[in-house]
Amino acid sequence: MPRIPIIMPQLGESIAEATVVALPFQVGDDVENDQEIIEVETNKATMGVTTPCRGRITDLLVELQMSYPVGATLAHVEVSDEDAKRLGLDEASPSPALAETPATQASPVPEKPRPARVEPTVRGLPVPANASGASYMSPRMKARMQELGLHAADLAGIAGSGAAGRVTIDDFEKFLTKLEEHRLSPASSMRVAVADAMRRSWTRPIATVGSSVALDSLLAHRKASNPKPGPALYALRALALALGENSAPAGRLIGEKIVHPTSIDVGFAVEAEDGVLVPVLRNADATSLAELVARYAELVELARQRRLPVSAQGGSIATVTNFGTFGLEWATPIPLPEQTLVLGMGAGRIVPRWDQVQEKFIPVTEAQITLSFDHRVLDGGGAGRLLARVSELLQKPELL
């Protein structure tokens, strides 16, 4: 019977490798179609590598807690001739049991691939992947930093003794020696991914505008709804409608051209263990608030489990974050590297507001909303108009 390889799939646009975290099956076990036989973890999520058809596992070429690049062969499964032909694997490798091997020669043991250090292939980003913090670094310094996997931003805590305050290689080595006197702990893959994204984002000029919005109409609408949308989902839907009317503010500057979005796909920040994930709601401008509630809740739970499907990762044009859940009234979040906009919502509080009709102050529930943006693409006026439209829609939740 033929064997088919189980290949490390492409688990996301910027994912070049994944770490094996669970092996629920052993060599010789029978498996069904579309069954998870290897669980892998990236810096974004935990996912399962599945079988394309029924069969029997003949070998596992991976080890737990080791990383393997996209395209690497992880295992082989013995399948029927019919399934091999259906899958277009007429050249599938024959089963070792049928291979011609001299009686005096032992069957070869499959050699496990050596894990490789893989650099992520990041495409479609509006800024360089490597940020530079120092004004000048010698080739020797650059080589030493590359050897240690460090970035220029990591030198911020070093006082340079060279010309014009330049950090010399001696300064750098003394800094490394000094670090050993402190308690050190490894950063998680997610924390490293967040750090890299923020480092790339900060190479752009980021500005923020803010405004207050009354939430009484929104809270009344939410109370009467079943199921009840969260405040962040109201904000996401309002932003999606506003960008559906005019998507230019969400364009990205690439060289001397503005790249306009083809669809209004908006992400929302979810706090996960040691980091933040951003699930994406596709075509949010064309999907009503009521229709988005179930999908939103599902993606929140999957994000917390770090099991986001690939279809809900990346490709969004803006993000919404509800920092009010932490009791914060005001914040200046940073857009993701591939985005121009991030909308933030603060905690609601009861404040007095002057009512022109009643000619007196009345209590209202008010929250601060902020819009942080790439100032190369959008100016304060355009950002203000977009935020004003979002505020207007939030006060008319029946339109969402």
Most confident of 170-174, 285-289, 352-356: 285-289
First to last CA, the chain: 57
| pLDDT of 162 above 90 | no
pLDDT at 330: 93
Residue 25, CA atoms < 13 Å, CB-side half-sphere: 26
Asked if residue 178 lies in contact with residue 159, where contact means CB atoms within 8 angstroms, the answer is: no
The yes-or-no verdict on residue 91 having pLDDT over 50 is no
Residue-level pLDDT at 365: 94
- Contact criterion met (CB below 8 Å) for 21 and 40: yes
Average pLDDT of the chain? 83
Q: Domains (ranges, CATH) in the chain?
A: 3-98 (2.40.50.100), 139-184 (no CATH), 201-399 (3.30.559.10)
Q: What pLDDT shows up at residue 275?
A: 81
Residue 12 has pLDDT above 60, yes or no: yes
pLDDT value of residue 106:
44
pLDDT at 207 over 80: yes
| pLDDT of 212 above 50 | yes
Instruction: Check whether 150 has a pLDDT greater than 90.
Output: no
**Which contiguous run of DSSP H or E holds residue 336?**
none
328 near 294, Cβ under 8 Å?
Answer: no
What is the rounded CA–CA span in Å between residue 248 and residue 238? 16
User: What percentage of the chain carries pLDDT values higher than 70?
Assistant: 85
For 338: left if phi > 0, alpha if psi spans -120 to 50, otherwise beta; the answer is alpha
The residue that leads in pLDDT, 362 or 142, is 362
Give the separation between CA 234 and CA 392, rounded to whole angstroms: 12
| Residue 371 or 313, more confident | 371
Q: Rounded distance, CA 253 to CA 259, Å?
A: 6
Question: Can you tell me which residue has the tokens 């950090």?
Answer: 167
